[in-house]
Structure 1
């Protein structure tokens, strides 16, 4: 995937600041441990929940039980927002990823993702790949990938509002 077009929104950025480079935003996406996922219910109401996710091959991946609300919502509407960052006022960066969630069932990709989850959390999240899903001690989880259409980076302390537009 080619890199995004990156621009700064001067209306919401400190005077003289510059756009956050995509490499820095991507680094923070790779390091992030917790994300907030927003999906849309069938009646149009939003649903938000925290979850763990991994950044791999220029996309964010997460998993969920088949009958959890987020999975039910994604059956009818693939549009999602994933957000991560810190609640600090004077430092760090908050990131918002917009895109469509697509089910991942291909065994080789699922095995790569299972290894990524295990490596990221020092073995705390271990999955086997069976029948197009992750299997774990508590049952099974379906896996979704979100290739971003837009990523917003909000620098804190030195305030910046950067837009990374894909496609």
Structure 2
């Protein structure tokens, strides 16, 4: 993605004088976000939403989950996810919605890079060892790692309201 995604402003949901949010600003929000909300779908079709920590690296969002957590159970049958981040302030900020499929990450070199990214982003509060294609907490618990390459990202600017769509 040398030139970035295709960027479009949706005038239907934007102030008349608003401009599209630059991809660099949206990418910065994804890189800096300390908390995301993930939406998955249960086997009976009901939605499931949960907060989680994640990292943006190499054009994808990566997250981990225990094997018995509801999101992991849901992903076994349906990989489609939405991840959101932003702020709950009405007058300022940027809310971002990422759509894509969660794919299990098992490559140990990539997992090592991700473990380092988690440690760095949260000043050592999240530390993982990499073994057997998974993360392991120091306390011994195993976590699966998933990567979401976006198919679409929406950015909602506030104050001067804008709705920007990035297509990948």
Identify whether the pair has TM-score above 0.5, normalized to the shorter chain. yes
Matched, 1:36 2:37: yes
Residue 86 (structure 1) shift: 0.2
Distance 1:102 1:156 in 2: 32
Distance 1:39 1:116 in 2: 24
Structure 1 stretches of 4+ with a deviation exceeding 3 A read none
1:51 equivalent in structure 2: 52
1:102 equivalent in structure 2: 103
1:83 equivalent in structure 2: 84
Residue 16 (structure 1) shift: 1.3
2:149 equivalent in structure 1: 147
What RMSD over aligned residues (CA atoms) do the two structures have, in Å?
0.8
2:64 equivalent in structure 1: 63
TM-score, reference length from structure 1: 0.98
1:124 equivalent in structure 2: 125
Distance 1:6 1:155 in 2: 14
Residue 27 (structure 1) shift: 0.7
2:163 equivalent in structure 1: 161
* Unaligned 5+ runs, structure 1: none
Residue 49 (structure 1) shift: 0.3
Distance 2:34 2:14 in 1: 26
Residue 158 (structure 1) shift: 1.3
1:115 equivalent in structure 2: 116
Distance 1:101 1:20 in 2: 25
Distance 1:138 1:29 in 2: 29
1:70 alignment partner, SS class: helix
